[in-house]
Amino acid sequence: MSGNTITHQTAAAGERIGSTRVAPVTYHRAARELGLRRSEFDLAVHLGRVRTVPDEGGGGRRVPRDEIDRIRTADGFPEVLRAAVRVVGTAQGAALMDVTTARFTRLARLGLLVPVKFYVNRYRAVVWLYLAEELRQFKADERNTALLTGRTPGGLRDQLGEGLDLRPRNWRGRHLGFLLRQAHDPWARAAAVASLLDAAEVSDVVTDPYERSHLRRFRPAPVPHGSPGSPAAQVAEEIVTAADPDEVDWLRSDLAAAVDAARLHRPAPRPAAAAHAPAVPVPHGPDPVPRERAKPEPPAAEHPTPREVERPGRLSGIFGRLWRRDC
């Protein structure tokens, strides 16, 4: 074997080692190297504190090696990172801000404290979680002193008495921001907006069945809460789906604009026969086209579902009662 061959093999081995070293790593490994629990790591990604990239093999997202090195060499690591992703519930949050739990809940329902996570406990009650860092910042701001110690203004008290609760809406807005940051394709951005709307609303805005089918390909994974169809999952679905009329109108407008942008970027795929079919009414009577050459039907999944035909009430009685509980 010649010396040149040995040199070539050694260099190739070095390249393989180097490529392994710089290759993006899985979430599990990145969390371990950053000293975070998986839930803490997921929240760090959600907040944009950890940069991720799409997996070239189509296996989700990964974390670049240089991103892990950047975080590990930052001042105050790992304490600063752990503090940034620490979440607290109502009782802990109230203690952190030195207020009663009742006042804390009122501030959250008024939209002044924005939850970052939620879960449904075994009693089917929604438990909201907040970033401890944001609560400390709210308390330190002198403009909020009256809200923490004084009497709630009469107008705000009236709104609370009428059932105002902006926690679900504020969480949806925060969640949409995360989904849009993760979307690197115009269709994925449109799908992120669509994920917060009822299926009937999406069908009303996006009338083309092939575009709706394409949107579903990019639909973000649902927020996991209980097994599918369970009471916890149903409550979570109510929270994820926009309910307020003005919020629905805003999302519908955003979805229409996002689909327009995606259509210009790359039209949704469709069968060739459908793409070139003339836009003329279909005549009544026997179909003269041979069966094997008939125009393909839209995707079967696009036939109206019971949810699309008959939209149930946004908030069921039991869900309204759950929200009225101070969690």
Hey, which bits of the chain come out as E strands? 53-54, 61-62, 87-88, 117-120, 126-131
Q: How confident is the model over 104-125, as a mean pLDDT?
A: 95
Q: At residue 63, does pLDDT exceed 80?
A: yes
Check residue 108 and give its pLDDT. Answer: 98
Distance CA 303, CA 88 (A): 44
CB atoms under 10 Å from CB of 32, counted, come to 14
More confident residue, 50 or 307: 50
Most confident of 6-10, 234-238, 282-286, 294-298: 234-238
Distance CA 90, CA 118 (A): 11
Sign of CA dihedral 115, 117, 120, 121: negative
pTM of the model: 0.76
Which of 1.10.357, 1.10.1660, 3.40.630, 3.40.50 would CATH assign to domain 19-84?
1.10.1660
Pull the structure tokens for residue 160.
């609370």
Q: What are the domain boundaries of the chain?
A: 19-84, 87-165, 169-270+301-324
CB atoms under 10 Å from CB of 155, counted, come to 8
DSSP 126: E
Check residue 28 and give its pLDDT. Answer: 95
Distance CA 85, CA 74 (A): 16
